[in-house]
Amino acid sequence: MHRILPWLIRHWVLSSAVLLLACGALGYSLAAPPPPREVRIAVGTAPDSAYTLAAEAYARRLEETAFRVRRVPTQGSVENLAMLRAREVDLALVQGGIADPARDAGLVSLGAVFHEPAWIFLRAEAGIGRVSDLRGRRVAIGPEGSGTRVLALALLAANDIGPLEIEALPITGTAAAEAMLAGAADAAILVSARTAGAVATLMRAAPAVRLVDVADSADAYGVHLPFLSAVRLPRGGLSLAADQPEQSVTLLAPVASVLAHQDIHPQVVSLLVGIMQEVHRPRTLFSAEGSFPNALAQDLPMNADAERYYARGRTVLQRWLPFWVAVWVERLFFVLLPVIGLAVPLIRFGPTLYAWQMEGRVWRHYDTLRRIEAEAEQARGDDARAALRERLEALEGRVARLSLPLTYRRHVFALRRDIAYVRAQLAPTRRPGGIEQA
């Protein structure tokens, strides 16, 4: 170490450059890798479904930000979850109450985005008054693997009706509406955030088809199925002109959430949550403006970066710079931070170290001069004193050859004066009669 430190100081520029490069490499290793250029999104096959429309809105905005988006068609929430677990997609919308924290470990939520009401329609001719009367009836509950089927079976189970106690019709949407109107189904349970399509068709079929109002039992359903919340469909909410519905109706609704893998890139999370806010912030039939997206009532853990975004908003860089520019500026910051942290003291103490180095080239010759002076005090013979004078001449020669900036030449002149002083002590003296005496 006693040799390394002087070398580092003498070669200050080189050692500083090496240290700065090492710090830059450390910062680069600590910086998160850049976001992937491609994002795979699960997109529903029904073109007018809320899931499809939302996923398409995300995809378009991601493409506007120079991402490549691959749309992967799926049949619904259950398949979306399976594809997320298999890493066949990166993002998917999933109906509340479908995900399981144990089974779906490794997945996280980026936030709830909209209510998905359960529309329970009963055919008036069937003489059914409530959900608990559906035992033994023909009920359209959606195909296997659909979120509609999962929620329909949960609602029936809450009324002590098992899946084998009904005639389950694996249809939903338009097919379920047609079966109801044709008398092929006694009831249909639809899960939809949109009021167009099958919901509108069955609402127009009143009084032959009746929408169940759960106002009296909404709290009880919330106890048995905590992922459900009550939403209100106001009178005339579907059509003021047709007065549909003729009175306000309370529905049960899970929330749809955007799910991703827990290792999703933090900057992609920030971008996605911002996109979700653009898409879902406006007022809807079942939510006030600004209600969604949010971090409430999630089946799976919330992504930490998404939570920070909801609390603080976008970073300053992403607020003022294009996404990819902000990404590289943030990465550059991580690289430069340790470099700047080291460069500042190096720059501050650099002149001092440089002066110490220049002066040290002179000061180290004082050790030789001090030894010569100490030996001169002990020298008694002519030969010894002559040898010391020769060493002084050699020392002065080395000092004279020192190449130093003009600012530091004064130290050389001071050293040469000191050499002259020691030389004077070793000068031969004259004996009486004019003979020199060493």
Domain boundaries, the chain: 1-29+350-438, 31-114+258-314, 117-253
Beta bridge partners of 430: 436
Alpha carbon distance 111, 273 (integer Å): 8
The pLDDT, as a whole number, for residue 340 is 61
Report how far apart, in Å, the C-alpha atoms of 219 and of each of 120, 182, 214, 224, 230 are: 17, 34, 9, 9, 8
Tell me which H or E stretch contains 277.
helix 266-280
pLDDT reading at 264 higher than 80? yes
The reply to whether 31-114+258-314 and 117-253 are identical in fold is yes
Alpha carbon distance 333, 344 (integer Å): 16
The residue with greater pLDDT, 258 or 399, is 258
Q: How far is CA 167 from the centre of its chain?
A: 47
pLDDT over 90 for what percent of the chain? 45
pLDDT reading at 77 higher than 70? yes
The residue with greater pLDDT, 46 or 85, is 85
R_g (Cα) of the chain, nearest Å: 42
Strand extents, DSSP E, 45-115: 68-74, 91-95, 107-115
Give the burial class of 257: count Cβ atoms within 10 A of its Cβ; 0-12 exposed, 13-18 middle, 19 or more buried.
buried
Lowest pLDDT segment from 108-117, 166-175, 385-394, 424-433: 424-433
- pLDDT per residue over 149-182, tens digit each? 999 999 999 999 999 999 999 999 899 999 999 9
pLDDT over 70 for what percent of the chain? 82
Q: Is residue 409 within 8 Å of residue 402, measured between CB atoms?
A: no
Q: What is the mean pLDDT of residues 74-85?
A: 90
**CATH level 3 topology of 31-114+258-314:** D-Maltodextrin-Binding Protein; domain 2 (3.40.190)
Report how far apart, in Å, the C-alpha atoms of 345 and of each of 16, 20, 174, 350, 362 are: 11, 12, 72, 8, 26
Structure confidence at residue 2 as a pLDDT band (50, 70, 90): very low
Q: What is the mean pLDDT of residues 58-63?
A: 94
Which range of 190-194, 365-369, 410-414 scores highest in mean pLDDT? It is 190-194
Q: What is the mean pLDDT of residues 101-120?
A: 94
Report how far apart, in Å, the C-alpha atoms of 354 and of each of 5, 52, 234, 351, 380 are: 14, 68, 81, 5, 42
The pLDDT, as a whole number, for residue 386 is 80
The pLDDT, as a whole number, for residue 266 is 83
DSSP conformation class of 97: T
Beta bridge partners of 63: none
The pLDDT, as a whole number, for residue 4 is 46
pLDDT reading at 59 higher than 70? yes
Q: What is the mean pLDDT of residues 248-255?
A: 94
The residue with greater pLDDT, 91 or 19, is 91
Label residues 219-228 b or e (16+ Cβ within 10 Å = b). Answer: eebeeebebb
Q: How many CA atoms, within 13 angstroms, populate the side-chain half-sphere of residue 99?
A: 30
The residue with greater pLDDT, 148 or 366, is 148
What's the whole-number average pLDDT of the chain? 83
- One-letter amino acid for residue 90 of the chain: D
Give the burial class of 390: count Cβ atoms within 10 A of its Cβ; 0-12 exposed, 13-18 middle, 19 or more buried.
exposed
The residue with greater pLDDT, 388 or 51, is 51
Q: Which CATH homologous superfamily contains domain 117-253?
A: Periplasmic binding protein-like II (3.40.190.10)
Q: What is the mean pLDDT of residues 360-378?
A: 80
Alpha carbon distance 366, 353 (integer Å): 20
Maximum CA extent, the chain:
153
The residue with greater pLDDT, 218 or 20, is 218
Residue 425, φ and ψ in degrees, nearest 5: -70, -30
The pLDDT, as a whole number, for residue 344 is 60
Structure confidence at residue 121 as a pLDDT band (50, 70, 90): very high
